[in-house]
Amino acid sequence: MARSGKAFYRGLVLIFLTWCLCGCTDAVELTDKDNELVAEYLSNLLLRYEDGFGDGLHYPKAGVQDAEDVSQSEPPTVTEEPSPEADVQTSPYQGVENHLPVGQLPSEEPVAAGQPGDDQQNVGESAEEEPVPKLPVGLSEIFKDFGIRVKYSGHNAHVRYREGNDAYVVLPHDRKNMLVVVDFRVTNAKKGRNKVNLGKYDVSNPFSTGGESSGDGITYVLRSAQGSQYEAEVSLLNNGGLNRLRVSLPRKGSAKASLIFEVPKDFVMEGTTLEVKRGEDTANVPL
């Protein structure tokens, strides 16, 4: 059926050609260009129905060929214009010029936050070399090597002072002065009898064997709130006073001991402190 159809179309082609070339009318003269168009058209008809040639010649629709040519052609080279920001080199110090220390240029290596510089290191080293002041201690800590506990019990101001049945009356050296007497209670801390002799540890005593140079000497200074200071006087009391205490205490026994200071009559007691110091230990007693 397929072959009879092809033969039919071939016959029509032959009849058409015979009519075109040998028609009843006068012969038509064709130019070379017309002959080429007729030949191309006839070839298309023949090839369209010939086995092995598929659909014969292809006439793509308008615009398809142009699209294929564009897809097969190489893509145009696009030259990107450099951004104005690309020419600017980013610096690690950009934006920190206003935050740099005075005198430091952006080209210098910045000091990291929290990292001490040379000046800070020198300050730290010098601070470490300074000795740390020792904290004040209790009053009994000063006298612990003597086996006694000392507790402040009060103070009074006197124009002259006599302690109980003591035969000695302590007078100021100057009538314009007065005496400040500071009292203490001294208790034996040993399990047995304790013979105490603090006179040789009094720095003001010229006969002391435990002077200030040996580090065992004891000093007693009265300091006022206004900054004036006074050293303890020789008390001439029965037991010598605390600074030159000479007493024998039984087990758990105690005795009264005093310190006497000569001060002006207009001396203000408010804010006054007694400083007792031995070696590196210092005890401050507010009066």
Give the span between the Cα atoms of 284 and 287, in whole angstroms. 10
111 compared with 249, residue with greater pLDDT: 249
The residue-averaged pLDDT of 75-89 equals 56
Write out the residue range of the structural domain in which residue 273 sits: 139-286
Residue 280 · residue 141 · CB < 8 Å: no
pLDDT tens digits along 111-159: 555 555 555 555 555 556 676 667 888 999 999 999 999 999 999 998 8
pLDDT beyond 50 at 266? yes
Please give the pLDDT value at position 213.
45
Number of domains in the chain: 1
pLDDT tens track for 216-244: 789 999 999 999 999 998 877 888 889 98
- pLDDT tens, position by position, 15-49: 777 766 665 555 667 788 777 887 777 777 666 66
Q: How confident is the model at residue 106 (pLDDT cuts 50, 70, 90)?
A: low
- Which residue type, as a one-letter code, is found at position 79? T
CATH of the domain at 205: 2.60.40
- Tell me whether residue 84 is in a domain: no
53 vs 242, higher pLDDT = 242
Coil, helix or strand at residue 136:
coil
In a domain, residue 240? The reply is: yes
Question: Among the listed ranges 166-170, 192-196, 263-267, 283-287, which one has the minimum average pLDDT value?
Answer: 166-170
16 inside domain: no
**Mean pLDDT, the chain, whole residue set:** 74
66 in any annotated domain: no
Q: What is the pLDDT of residues 203-213, one digit of tens each?
A: 766 555 554 44
d(CA 56, CA 24) in angstroms, rounded, equals: 32
The answer to whether position 123 is within a domain reads no
> Which residue has 């690690």 as its token pair?
92
**Tell me, what's the pLDDT at 264?**
94
In a domain, 228, yes or no: yes
Say if 199 falls within a structural domain.
yes
Q: Classify residue 217 as exposed, middle or buried by CB count within 10 Å of its CB (0-12, 13-18, 19+).
A: buried
246 within domain boundaries: yes
